[in-house]
Amino acid sequence: MVSPILELININKSFGHVQANKNINLTINKGTIHGIIGENGAGKSTLMSIVFGLYQANSGTIKVNGNEINLKSPKDSIINGIGMVHQHFMLVENFTVLENVILGFEGETVFGEKLKKAKQDLQKLCEIYNFNIDLDATISDLSVGFRQRVEILKSLYRGAEILILDEPTGVLTPQEVDELFTILRSLREEGKTIVLITHKLIEIMDLTSEVSVMRQGEMVGHTKTQDTDKEKLAEMMVGRNVLLRVDKSESKKGEIVFKVSNLTVKDDLDVMRVKNVNLEIHSGEILGIAGVTGNGQTELLEALSGIRNVEGGSVELFGEKISDKDNFLNPRMLKEKGLAHVPEDRQRMGLVTDFKASENLIFGYHDQEPFSKSSILNHKKISEYSNKIMKEYDVRPNSPDLVTSNFSGGNQQKIILSRELNENPKVLLVGQPTRGVDIGAIEFIHQRLIHMRDRGAAILLASVELDEVLSLSDRIIVMFDGKIVGEKNNKNITDRELGLLMAGVTGE
C-alpha cells in the first residue's frame, strides 16, 4: 500500500498582480515517479520552487511524511530530504565534479581525510546508480547529460528522498534521455520519489505512474498514467483539442536562395567542427538537420548567422557571394538582406535576460522605425508592438515591462521566436525551435514555420527532436563528426534510417 511522502494543501503564490499558484492541492506517493504537466506559465516550476524553498507560499500547508514543515530556504528543504535539479544547471564550470557536489555542504573547510571520505561516499553513489562520472573532471569539460548527473548526484549526496526535476530532457540528446530514464527508474527502485516537471507527453506516458495537470496557475486534474493517453492530457493542459502532428501540404520549391560550399568552421577551442559542408536551400522548403548534439550543427548555424568566423569555403545568398575566408559574414548585413536567426542557446545568445521583455522583443531591429528615429527610442510604439506580439504568440504573462529572467524558459523561447518570425524573413536559420516549449505552443510554432515556408521562405532547421525534424522537413541532411553523411527526401524515411546515419553508419 502506497503512502504519501509529500502533500501540498491550498498553496497560493502571487508575484505582484500575477497569481502564479491558486489553491493548489497535490499528493505525491512514496516510491513513485509523478509527472506534473502544463503549458509554459501554468505555475509548475513556481510550485516546485516553493517545495524546494526558493519561494515561500503566501498561504497553504506543506507536509512531508505526514509532518507539517516550514520551508524558508533550500537548506530547510534539503534537511527535509527534498532535492531539485533545475532546468538551467546550478554548477560552477571551472570547479571539479567533487568540488561542485560538496560546495555549500562542506560545513567547514574540507581537507585531507574529510575530503577523502566525501570522495569515497560519492564514488559509492556513482557505482550504485551507474553514473560513470569522473569526480576529478572539470564541469566545463562535461557534456550536458553528465552535468545533469552531477546535479542529481548533488541531491543524493545531501540525502534527498524526494527528487524534483524541472524539464530535465530539454537539452539532452535522445541517447542521453534514455540514460537519464534508466537512472530515474533505478532511483525509484531504491525507494526514492521522483517529481517530473515536463511538457513532453511521450515522456509522461513512458516514465510516470501518476500525472497531475496544471493550467493558468490551477490544478485541473489528477490521473493514473495507465488510465489516460497523450490526446486527453494535451486537451487538459490547453483546454482545447490539440493537433499532435504537423498538418502540411507538399512544398512548392522555388529557386536556390542560400548556398554553402566547402564550409569549414572551428569552435572556441580551435577544433574543426564543420568539415567541408555543402548544402543549398530553395525558397519554399524546410531543410532539416538531424544529428546528435556536438556534431557541428551549432557551429554551422553560428557561422551562417555571422556570429562565428568561417575558416574556409563560401556562402551565397540570392546568388551573391557574401562570405569566404577573408570576408566574414556580418549579422547586421544579413538582417538587412532578409535573413533571421533563432539561436539554439536562448539565454546566452538569444536574450539579455536582465532587460525587459519589450527590449528583447526589438533587439536587432531597435534602430529601425517605428521603434526609433534619429537614435531616439519611441517607447509608446515599442509598448504597443510588445503588447500586440506577446498576445499573438501567447507569451505569459503578457507583461512587456517584466524583466525577461522572470519568464519561464518556454516563454523566453516565444519572445525570441516572435521577434525573428514576425519580420517575415526570406531565409530563416532556426536551432531547437521548441526546446522547453509546451504542447500548445509547439503546435503554434510548427504552424508558423509551415506558413513561412508556404509564403516562400527558405528555412534551415536544426533540432535534436527527431520527430520534429521528420514532421517539418521537406529534405533532411544528417551531420556526424562535422560532415554531412547523408541526405534524404522526407518521404517514407524511418527514424531508424536516420538514427543509423546519426551514429555514423552510412552503409558504405
For 162-177, the pLDDT digits (tens) are 999 988 886 676 677 8
Q: Is the dihedral of CA 378, 382, 385, 388 positive or negative?
A: negative
**Cβ proximity of 198 and 169 under 8 Å:** yes
Q: How many residues does the chain have?
A: 508
DSSP state, residue 349: I
**Cβ proximity of 256 and 303 under 8 Å:** no
Cα 367 from Cα 106, distance rounded (Å): 50
How many C-beta atoms lie closer than 10 Å to residue 280's C-beta?
Answer: 14
Give the tens place of pLDDT for each residue, 107-127: 554 556 777 888 898 999 888
Residue 246 sits at φ, ψ, to 5 deg, of -85, 125
**Cβ proximity of 125 and 135 under 8 Å:** no
Identify residue 149 by its one-letter amino acid code.
R
Res 287 pLDDT > 90: yes
* Average of per-residue pLDDT across 286-313: 90
**Cβ proximity of 122 and 98 under 8 Å:** yes
Q: Is the peptide bond before 370 cis (omega within 30 degrees of 0)?
A: yes
Give the tens place of pLDDT for each residue, 202-235: 889 999 999 999 988 999 999 999 999 988 888 8
Domains of the chain are 4-238 (3.40.50.300), 256-502 (3.40.50.300)
Give the tens place of pLDDT for each residue, 379-401: 999 999 999 999 988 888 899 99
Stated as kind and residue range, the H or E segment containing 281 is strand 272-282
* 77: confidence class by pLDDT, cuts 50, 70, 90: very high
Burial class (CB in 10 A: 0-12, 13-18, 19+), 503: middle
